[in-house]
Amino acid sequence: MLPVKQAESIILDLVQPFDEESDTETVDLSAATSRILAKQVTSQLDFPQWDNSAMDGYAVRYADIQACSVQQPAVLEIVEEIPAGYQPQVSIQYGQAARIFTGACMPIGADTVVMQEQTRQENNRVLILEAPEPQAFVRRRASFYQTGMPLLLPGVFLRAPEMAVLAAAQSTQLIVYRRPRVAIFSTGNELITPEQPLEPGKIVDSNQYALRAFVAQAGGVPLPMGIVRDQPEKLEEAITKAISNADIVLSTGGVSVGDYDYVDQILAKLGAEIHIHKVAIKPGKPLTVATFPFLTQENEGKGKRSVLYFGLPGNPVSALVSCWRFVQPALSKLSGLPEQAWGPCFVKAQTVTELNSGGKRETYIWGQLHLKDGVYEFRAAGGSQASSNLINLAQTNGLAVLPIGTTLVPAGETVQVLQVGSQA
Ligand code: AMP
Ligand code: MG
């Protein structure tokens, strides 16, 4: 059976990232949050755009005030008041000053700002009681950024700070990568939707909802295709449709060794290349990874990208663990994120609960990760850690990893924990 790490690298090698020309779209600034830049952004503006004041005070010529003191203040004539947003109208001559406020443009002639606490105003004159350093409290044009320099690079994920930068730079239209399209369907004769009556023996298709949420959280566009019965012709129809619409296909069930497990057979029939059948992971041993190395309708004329197919196990916990461990990095790479953001993201944590494993496969124990006094703590979900038990999966944000050969990690020991459920 394939070791987890090897499966991960095979999968990542199969992913061809989005093309910076053909896999992009233009979005308005207001719709750009959580998108990934495909083109470098430069601004036509300098930052700051004008020399401006960093203080409320007086704009002066340094030569006029350098020798002043409380005993012998410099006395200057106030020739203008410059609030923020106002363009100065007069230039400052010897013996003159302008009243100025934070962020307001420096007037021509002035080179220094004296904060108002070091001054006393008397009618239209100001007494400067103490001189600051020459050029104090002036934010120089272009001292933060010069027109034409790279402002934000391709691959940047747009969060609050980047949105602030783009807005300030008046970048109102952005070229971002399109979102990966991910087809999702569930296989099983036993499956019903959450709305249907639960007859004896039936199982509600929870995977469809879990995977839709997973894909949306990972920045993809879920294309839900519903339930597909364990019949070769139905499966063939569903897979054919999925690969013509999507970049990635996620199906659950039907990849084990049961009599109704037809997925691998149909994939082979349709010309897929199967790269992975089984991985030494628990939960989640049956995992089929295949590629369809031909053009689909969607990317015709947009270069060659094969569709990546994940045949995930049917058990709800196994399906999600496989998504977190294997699909997430593939989606991140495809999306145009830089390599350091592909994940998966592991942290070291102290476990507060004892952790057990059969020791034969790399074991992922679900539970909760939180920071306590700056140190991560992990608590395994209480109750059964069986892969069919999805009830105690709620609130999971970490999976403790027990390597092959480790059967017990006592409470208080340090373990590697895969962080899950949060976005790139
Ligand atoms: P399979 O991998 O198809 O053999 O399914 C393994 C187990 O997972 C069986 O008990 C299924 O009933 C269950 N299962 C399969 N698909 C789903 C699904 N979409 N939602 C919830 N449980 C499922
Ligand atoms: Mg099945």
Would the pLDDT of 266 be above 90?
yes
Would the pLDDT of 312 be above 90?
yes
Return d(Cα 30, Cα 175) in angstroms, integer: 13
Residue to mutate, 190, 202, 203, 208, ligand 1, most ligand atoms under 8 Å from C-beta: 203
pTM of the model: 0.90
The answer, yes or no, to whether any atom of ligand 1 lies below 6 A from the CB of 206, is: yes
Residue to mutate, 202, 310, 315, 393, ligand 1, most ligand atoms under 8 Å from C-beta: 315
What single DSSP character describes residue 169? T
What percent of the chain is predicted at pLDDT more than 70?
97
The answer, yes or no, to whether any atom of ligand 1 lies below 6 A from the CB of 56, is: no
What is the pLDDT, as a whole number, of residue 226?
98
Contact between 260 and 317 under an 8 Å Cβ cutoff? The reply is no
The arithmetic mean of pLDDT across residues 319-338, rounded, is 97
C-alpha distances in angstroms, 34 versus 152, 156, 203, 296, 372?
14, 10, 35, 27, 29
Closest atom of ligand 1 to 205 CA is: 20
What is the pLDDT, as a whole number, of residue 423?
46
Query: Token digits for 411?
Result: 């409470």
In which element (H, E) is residue 243 found?
helix 232-245
Mean pLDDT over the full length of the chain: 94
The arithmetic mean of pLDDT across residues 226-255, rounded, is 96
Return d(Cα 176, Cα 361) in angstroms, integer: 40
Query: Token digits for 381?
Result: 């979900």
The arithmetic mean of pLDDT across residues 211-217, rounded, is 97
What is the pLDDT, as a whole number, of residue 422?
64
The arithmetic mean of pLDDT across residues 220-240, rounded, is 97
The arithmetic mean of pLDDT across residues 414-423, rounded, is 87
Contact between 135 and 59 under an 8 Å Cβ cutoff? The reply is no
What is the pLDDT, as a whole number, of residue 268?
95
Please identify which residue in the block is written with the tokens 């939960």.
Answer: 283
| pLDDT tier, 417 (very low <50, low <70, confident <90, very high otherwise) | very high
Q: pLDDT of 24-63, one tens digit each?
A: 999 999 999 999 999 999 999 999 999 999 999 999 999 9
Would the pLDDT of 83 be above 80?
yes
| pLDDT tier, 298 (very low <50, low <70, confident <90, very high otherwise) | low
- Where does 18-116 have alpha helices with state H? 62-65
The arithmetic mean of pLDDT across residues 257-268, rounded, is 90
Please identify which residue in the block is written with the tokens 């923020």.
Answer: 84
Q: How far is the CA of 202 from the centre of ligand 2 (A)?
A: 12
Q: Identify the structural domains of the chain with CATH numbers, from first to last.
A: 4-23+179-341 (3.40.980.10), 28-43+148-177 (3.90.105.10), 52-139 (2.170.190.11), 346-419 (2.40.340.10)
The arithmetic mean of pLDDT across residues 225-249, rounded, is 97
What sign has the CA pseudo-torsion 37, 42, 43, 48?
positive
